[in-house]
Amino acid sequence: MASQPLDPLDPYAYTSGRWLRRDKLERESRFITFDFDALCARVIECSHGAASIKSYEKKEGGFNRVFIFTLDNAKRVVARLPFKLAGPTRLTTGSEVATIRYLQINTSIPIPKIIDWNDNAATPIGTEYILMEHAAGVQLHQRWPTMTSEQQVRCISDIYQKMKDTAAIKFPVYGSLYMENSLPSSASQHVLEDPSFCIGPHCGPMYWDCEVGESRHYHNTAPNRGPWTTLLDYCDGLIDTGISRIPPNDPLLPKRPRYHGTVQEHLSLLQSGRTVLKKLSEDSRVQDAATPTLFHPDLNKRNIFVSDDDPTTVTAIIDWQSAAIEPAFWYADLIPDFAKPIPHPTLEDQLEFNSEQCAKVFNISTQFLTPTLAHPRLMDEAFFRPYRYCYRTWKDGAVAFRDELIHTARRWEELGLADICPYSTPTPEELAAHKKMYQLFLAAQELRSTLSVLLNTATDGWVPPEDWEMVKQAYKEYYDGMLEAVLKNEDADDDEPIRSENDLREIWPFDLELIPSKQPV
């Protein structure tokens, strides 16, 4: 966590922030080795009427580095370079290009034109890239705070008028879109009616060995990345992905919380989960809610551009990386940031009027314009929660998915599911042990959320560079304050999961190197 100056225009290093957890690893995973001069030359070569680059901006998200070049003819060109953690090499870029082109042919969604692209890093530039025209207008997040309630409502309506076409497209299988002849011969693919496109392996990072600090292990299962022809096959993909995260042996380091569980516990839990998911997937209601659907994976204000003159008119929707064909219910509970109700800052237990209006318009718009997504949202979420947690047990801890299976088993008959739940309810002794571990898990989630709010950071510990020194100091102070509260809590009952410094350090979500233990040796 040592401090060092960051050059915001350094084209190779990540300079947009630091992390309170695995800072060095996080930044190294976003370092890109390439020839910046060659990229600039390619931008000019592809920009008719331009002879030079006047200036550039560098922007960075979670999965890409973006350069916005301003040319001497006043045109702007956007270059997108994926980080290694964005997904598999070549497939991630190839799928994004194919998805954009497919949508430009089959829908009216405004997406900036692709000028040039290459999914092969073995070029003079030395990295995969996509060059695009700059989106027309201004990002919605810049205009949103000054828009009237009526303008916000009309804008949301226009967003879903634009998005309704993609939600209505029928696809035969689940996976990611690619262009013909772009996949390696070893990859499975399903050719569409338009033979220029096919559906191939899912290129989302969860299915590949590219996530920061997480390895994949295929001693207990083979890679299973699709495409999947049925919901049952899709379930196998999720479970096999969960199994691939489990190492051969219980690791000694890094130390994990008690609720995490052993290798054998995870394997047994996922095998039970496989039978439950498959039984759920046989239900006609779940099948109806699992229509193979393509939708934007991150439809938030930063990815939406609106007219400079009229912020109710959407001019572009960007960032289609990792958009894939999923069961409709996978997208159904994603609530965009413009549709989330916000508590009123001064009136207790009331919501801001604008945000409440926006939430209502969002619900109406999805109901009438994207009914494929609205239908599963109206169903009991208990039908779908096991799908969302099964593939990440090694990351979350076994207790989280076990809790989902317990609740599913308890509600099996109430949900009207056929036969008997294949997951047996634990014995009273097992339930008592589970409850204790689950309380510790919940305490860990609450601690992460609380620290993120207090420190004004992302939940993964990301901090803007200008706030780094201040946050580091506050970080130590909050630890000391929380530890003092734990040690002085003499009224803690037997169910209190945090009773000592060891308990607090066990679930502390960020790095502890800067915080020496006060526990006596």
Domain assignment present for residue 494? The answer is yes
Residue 46: CATH number of its domain = 3.30.200.20
Residue 117 lies in a domain: yes
Q: Is the pLDDT of residue 521 over 50?
A: no
Considering 136, 167, 186, which residue would you say is the last residue of a domain? 136
User: How much is the average pLDDT of 318-336?
Assistant: 93
pLDDT of 288 over the 70 cut: yes
Inter-residue contact 163 to 299 (CB < 8 Å): yes
In this predicted model, which residue has the larger pLDDT, 99 or 349? Answer: 99
pLDDT category at 202 given cuts 50, 70, 90 is very high
Q: How confident is the model at residue 1 (pLDDT cuts 50, 70, 90)?
A: very low
Evaluate whether residue 124 is within a structural domain: yes
**Mean of pLDDT over the chain:** 92
| Strand ranges (E), 299-438 | 304-306, 314-317, 325-327
pLDDT per residue over 25-73, tens digit each?
999 999 999 999 999 999 999 999 999 999 999 999 989 999 999 999 9
Single residue among 136, 165, 197 that ends a domain in this structure? 136
Which residues have a Cβ under 8 Å from the Cβ of 258 and sit 6 or more positions away?
437, 440, 506
Flag whether 41 is in a domain.
yes
**Domains in the chain, number:** 2
80 found inside a domain: yes
Asked if residue 126 has pLDDT above 90, the reply is: yes
Can you tell me the mean pLDDT for 144-172?
95
Q: What's the pTM value of the predicted model, to 2 decimals?
A: 0.92
Averaged pLDDT, 163-181: 96
Q: Is the pLDDT of residue 517 over 70?
A: no
Whether 355 has a pLDDT exceeding 90, the answer reads: no
pLDDT tens digits, 455-469 = 999 999 999 999 999
Predicted pLDDT at 489: 77
**Per the domain annotation, does 94 fall within a domain?**
yes
345 falls within a domain? no
Q: Tokens for 368?
A: 């009438």
SS3 141: helix
70 in a domain, yes or no? yes
Whether residue 518 is predicted with pLDDT greater than 80 in this model: the reply is no
Range of the domain at 83: 18-136
Q: Give me the pLDDT at residue 348, please.
A: 56
Share of the chain above pLDDT 90, in %: 83
pLDDT higher than threshold 60 for residue 188? yes
CB 396 within 8 Å of CB 388? no
pLDDT of residue 116: 97
Q: Helix 91-106 vs helix 149-168: angle between axes, to the nearest 10 degrees?
A: 100
Lowest mean pLDDT of 215-219, 258-262, 398-402, 492-496, name the range. 492-496
Given this model, what pLDDT does residue 341 score?
76
* Consecutive H or E run containing 353: helix 353-369
Domain boundary among 114, 136, 158: 136
Tell me the C-alpha distance between 441 and 405, whole Å. Answer: 16
| pLDDT(76) > 50 | yes
Model confidence over 344-354: pLDDT tens digits? 566 555 556 68
